[in-house]
Structure 1
Amino acid sequence: MIANSDVSFTIAPGEIHALLGENGAGKSTLVKMIYGLVRPDQGRMFLHGEPYLPAKPAEARRLGVAMVFQHFSLFEALSVAENVALGMENPPKLRDLAARIRAVSAEYGLPLDPGRRVGDLSAGERQRVEIVRCLLQDPNLLIMDEPTSVLTPQEVEILFHTLRKLAQQGTAILYISHKLEEIRALCDTATILRRGRVVATCTPRERSAREMAELMVGASLSAPERTSAPRGEVALAVTDLSLASPIPFGTPLRGVSFTLSEGEVLGVAGVAGNGQDELLLALSGELRSPAGAIRLMGRPVGALGPQARRAAGLVAAPEDRYGHAAAPDMSLIENAYLTAGVRMGLTRRGFIDWPKTRAFTEAVIRDYDVRTPGPDVAARALSGGNLQKFLMGRELDQGAKVIVINQPTWGVDAAAAGAIRQKILDCAARGAAVLVISQDLDELLEIADSFTVLNEGRLSAPRPVRGLQRDEIGLMMGGAHGMEEATIAT
């Protein structure tokens, strides 16, 4: 299988260039070749007119290429300065490095305290550490992979201001994102890949987000359609749930209360690290809760584990697709059995019914357009977006009464995101109660009936989505406690 075929494009100094494509289009492989993680089979690359073929990332960095990855590579127990030093070939003394960090972060509007422990930082602040670490290299080319996936709207504006300033100073920026409105607002040019080949180059501000999405997938797209259904009984009730976090540097839950009815989609917004993982652990049964704090169809389930809750009708899909939602070295068939075995009846007389499990796996692959050679492939062999599609299909297709999902469309392209959102709405239409945790505000505003914000482990009072303003939501996500009450009062 060829990841990239005859790909050609150029980036000029001071240009912000978008790299677009659906999941499996070859974006990750392409930037890995530029950054020295993968060696191309053929073709040539040039940097400032000179032949360029880095054997490893250290060589790419030495030649002026830096990259901010989608997944942060930081040690939470270390300080900001110590983390930055680990990414340098010959780091100076920490005192001198701290001074440089303060100067660079102030210059680009990304304030950082070099002495703070990374485990105490917000997701937005952690991203600043990654960016400042790159800026200290004085890069000629900066590659950014899905940089806004964990940021509030206000933090996105700060990031864009920084990138525009870098571009004005002559830095070329290669920007990967599935958020097409951001591409239109930020980027000068876009190269669009489809199945490993360049299919178009365009000026984003001259195209609509829908036009670019259709170029990516080669087909027309339609927005998810909501089927009106009467609201049913309360399916999930959480009352004054307070729990310590089992995650190092995690956020405890503090008095979380809400109800979720049959046919309802409740959207939970919040910047990463404010208790989202802990909430999912508590609801899924991986983290036990006090008696009576969680009720499923009126029944207390706080003492039940994940499989018992699945049998009772609650399924959950965590954010971390590698190692939590999936076992990377196991096949898709085996991964399907891990969570669907109980609800889909994939066991027969104490043994796994492999033909039935294979049939379920193949149905998910087909229905969610998972790009894979087959169901026997290991989960880690799939691109992040295709694995995400598989994991969402595995949970959404089990006919559960209550569905809890953290980041349902994380890292998937526009077409796949639309398809997953439609499946969520279809589940609600058949009477399922769905709780969606997401940092994508557009997603929540599109599919949710009710909206709430999780901040520092506290959940705001749920409100109807209709009438909510993005600026107001962003302030709530950033920790403006009482914003929802103040708005209601006015």
Structure 2
Amino acid sequence: MTTRLELHDITKRYPSVVANDSISLTVEPGQIHAVLGENGAGKSTLMKIIYGAVKPDAGRVLWNGKDVNIANPAQARELGIAMVFQHFSLFDTLTVAENIALGLPPDTRLDELTRRIEETAREYGLELEPQRHVHTLSVGECQRVEIVRALLARPQLLILDEPTSVLTPSAVESLFATLRKLAAAGCSVLYISHKLDEIRALCHTCTVIRAGRNSGVCDPRQETAASLSHMMIGSNPPRIEHVERATGDTMMAVRGLSLAKSHPFAVELKDISFDVKAGEIVGLAGVSGNGQQELLAALSGEDRRAAPDAINVCGAAVGRLPPGRRRRLGFGFVPEERLGRGTVPEMSLADNVLLSLQTPLTIAYGLVRRNVLAERAASIIERFKVKASGPAALARSLSGGNLQKYIVGREVMRNPKVLVVAQPTWGVDVGAAAQIRAELVALRDAGCALLVISEELDELFEISDRMHVIAKGRLSPSIKTADASTALVGQWMSGLWPQGEGAHVQA
């Protein structure tokens, strides 16, 4: 049988790093092939070479047994290669259907395309509304758009870069069923993920990349999560010591927060109430698109329609205050979108410090203290082991996982009194995820009040003291993590929690 894809000695150099150093890879027809490695190991660069978005400096690419030079993504799509990027390539002001139409022939009818999108989304269990504008979608919903767009092409090779990072367990199972069905029909899948259990459950073969080089090839079904982790990072990730402690004063209180839809496709928030106390982590679970985006906007100050006393931070009513005023009270915030909200892509890492630290430390007499910004950025890079050329590196030049480490580090090192974090380890490798979670737990132990919004249930169970679930704009009662189970939280994610108990914290 002719192999679907062969890479021989692929090399790609950048001024400050060799991203791929003589990497070889073989993918058979109908094979689900994992590519595993740390953040910055060169996985995404390799996938972009296959997709024609990056040109290699050396090496050969064979497609169905023939040498090819894939000059651009359009040629890749003609060959039958589709890719879902970790960072989405969507236009905010266009609808879902219009975004998907951009990659199709000019004579494509939008009404026919809308029907195909709905059919494909329904077939694969990926709920989508083709008429919605992208700027109204959550990160999880944007990921569904990218996956459906790729599936519409009926590819021979589907490349997925962290496809389940913001999907719920049920959606992950649905996606796996889809991929197995595609593989059974002869489609090959290149699957990049940091979730070792997923790779072991789904993939037939795994190529491990470390520091831009081949580190090994194995059958992940015959490996343990520990052995895969060791192949990837050379050691096992540190265990998180999460000791139950007494909580302090209430540092953030939300009372009766109700907000009408800000646009036709938004989720209405309905009478949301909860507390977060000093020295605790409160986890918030839920299926993407159930009000998390709207709640984050209200808490951060992006949406200031709430009543002043509906949101209280450190004893102050902040419902109508802008983000800067909230930060000066001791509020910290990590948004779910790394590029665009968490950082300005075209700005350096040092300049991006200003997004959350505008104090006399960084600005004096109207002048930016660039030496202080550079020192702070260098400290974040060192403490959080961010792979970057230095404080002057542009935010967009970092891999997704390394940029996430930088953003979380920027907020942690401010020592906030209240920290709201959305999807803290999205697209982050196992070692870095353990470090980020350990930093959040350490911040909690130092007396910070944390609200962690995540679609990674394992993550919430690992670090949370208490949990809520959000569904259709409503908040469940609070439950101690020790008393919760995956089955119970999954049931609550459908809105099926005990009624009449309100949504207030249970002591």
- TM-score with structure 2 setting the length: 0.88
Deviations 1:105-163 (A, max 9, x none): 67x54477887646698877765554444334332111111111222211111111111
Equivalent AA in structure 2 for residue 402 of structure 1: V
How many residues in Structure 1 have an aligned counterpart in Structure 2? Answer: 484
Give me the identity figure in percent: 46
Choose 394-403 or 67-76, whichever is displaced more.
67-76
Give matches, 1:10-409, under 5 Å.
10-73=26-89, 83-89=99-105, 92-94=108-110, 97=113, 108-110=123-125, 117=132, 127=143, 129-244=145-260, 246=262, 249-288=265-304, 289-342=306-359, 345-409=361-425
Please, which runs of 5 or more residues in structure 1 have no aligned partner?
none
Contact 1:123/1:151 (CA < 8 Å) preserved in 2?
Answer: no
Change in CA separation of 1:355 and 1:68 when aligned onto 2, cut-off 3 Å: closer
Change in CA separation of 1:62 and 1:253 when aligned onto 2, cut-off 3 Å: same
Which residue, 495, 500, 506 being the options, matches 1:481?
495
Aligned equivalents of 2:118, 2:321: Cα separation in 1: 49
Change in CA separation of 1:64 and 1:390 when aligned onto 2, cut-off 3 Å: same
Equivalent AA in structure 1 for residue 407 of structure 2: L
Equivalent AA in structure 2 for residue 21 of structure 1: G
Aligned equivalents of 1:130, 1:220: Cα separation in 2: 33
CA drift at 1:473: 2.1
Deviations 1:191-219 (A, max 9, x none): 11111111111111211222212221122
CA drift at 1:351: 3.4
CA drift at 1:85: 3.6
Equivalent AA in structure 2 for residue 482 of structure 1: L
Aligned equivalents of 2:455, 2:344: Cα separation in 1: 24
Equivalent residue of 2:447, what SS? coil
Deviations 1:433-488 (A, max 9, x none): 000111111111110111111222222122111132223323433xx223355999
Contact 1:16/1:167 (CA < 8 Å) preserved in 2?
Answer: yes
Contact 2:128/2:141 (CA < 8 Å) preserved in 1?
Answer: no
Aligned equivalents of 1:178, 1:338: Cα separation in 2: 29
Choose 135-144 or 158-167, whichever is displaced more.
135-144
Choose 298-307 or 416-425, whichever is displaced more.
298-307
Equivalent residue of 2:24, what SS? coil
Please, which runs of 5 or more residues in structure 2 have no aligned partner?
1-16, 503-507
Contact 1:110/1:128 (CA < 8 Å) preserved in 2?
Answer: no
CA drift at 1:375: 0.8
Give the alignment's Cα RMSD to 1 decimal: 2.7
Aligned equivalents of 1:283, 1:427: Cα separation in 2: 20
Contact 1:231/1:261 (CA < 8 Å) preserved in 2?
Answer: yes
Change in CA separation of 1:121 and 1:407 when aligned onto 2, cut-off 3 Å: closer
CA drift at 1:101: 5.4
Change in CA separation of 1:347 and 1:75 when aligned onto 2, cut-off 3 Å: closer
Deviations 1:49-82 (A, max 9, x none): 0012211111111111111233444567777665
Aligned equivalents of 2:501, 2:312: Cα separation in 1: 30
Change in CA separation of 1:387 and 1:93 when aligned onto 2, cut-off 3 Å: closer
Within the alignment, does 1:420 sit opposite 2:436 as a pair? yes
Change in CA separation of 1:175 and 1:309 when aligned onto 2, cut-off 3 Å: same
Contact 1:227/1:425 (CA < 8 Å) preserved in 2?
Answer: no
Aligned equivalents of 1:380, 1:98: Cα separation in 2: 32
Equivalent residue of 2:21, what SS? coil
Choose 370-379 or 356-365, whichever is displaced more.
356-365
Aligned equivalents of 1:110, 1:286: Cα separation in 2: 32
CA drift at 1:333: 1.3
Which residue, 457, 472, 485 being the options, matches 1:441?
457
CA drift at 1:102: 6.5
Contact 2:125/2:171 (CA < 8 Å) preserved in 1?
Answer: no
Equivalent AA in structure 2 for residue 447 of structure 1: I
Aligned equivalents of 2:240, 2:492: Cα separation in 1: 27
Deviations 1:150-181 (A, max 9, x none): 22211111111111011111111001111111
Equivalent AA in structure 2 for residue 229 of structure 1: R
Contact 1:79/1:114 (CA < 8 Å) preserved in 2?
Answer: no
Equivalent AA in structure 2 for residue 337 of structure 1: L
CA drift at 1:93: 4.2
Counterpart of 2:8 in structure 1 is none
Aligned equivalents of 2:130, 2:51: Cα separation in 1: 29
Equivalent AA in structure 1 for residue 322 of structure 2: G
CA drift at 1:296: 1.8
Aligned equivalents of 1:114, 1:253: Cα separation in 2: 20
- TM-score with structure 1 setting the length: 0.91
Deviations 1:384-434 (A, max 9, x none): 211111110010111111111111111111111100000000000011100
Equivalent residue of 1:421, what SS? helix
Equivalent residue of 2:433, what SS? helix
Change in CA separation of 1:24 and 1:80 when aligned onto 2, cut-off 3 Å: closer
CA drift at 1:377: 1.5
CA drift at 1:280: 2.1
Higher strand share: 2
CA drift at 1:294: 1.1
Equivalent AA in structure 1 for residue 495 of structure 2: H
Change in CA separation of 1:362 and 1:142 when aligned onto 2, cut-off 3 Å: same
Counterpart of 2:6 in structure 1 is none
Aligned equivalents of 1:309, 1:101: Cα separation in 2: 41
Change in CA separation of 1:469 and 1:91 when aligned onto 2, cut-off 3 Å: farther
Aligned equivalents of 1:247, 1:103: Cα separation in 2: 25
Change in CA separation of 1:301 and 1:124 when aligned onto 2, cut-off 3 Å: closer
Change in CA separation of 1:102 and 1:300 when aligned onto 2, cut-off 3 Å: closer
Change in CA separation of 1:396 and 1:132 when aligned onto 2, cut-off 3 Å: closer
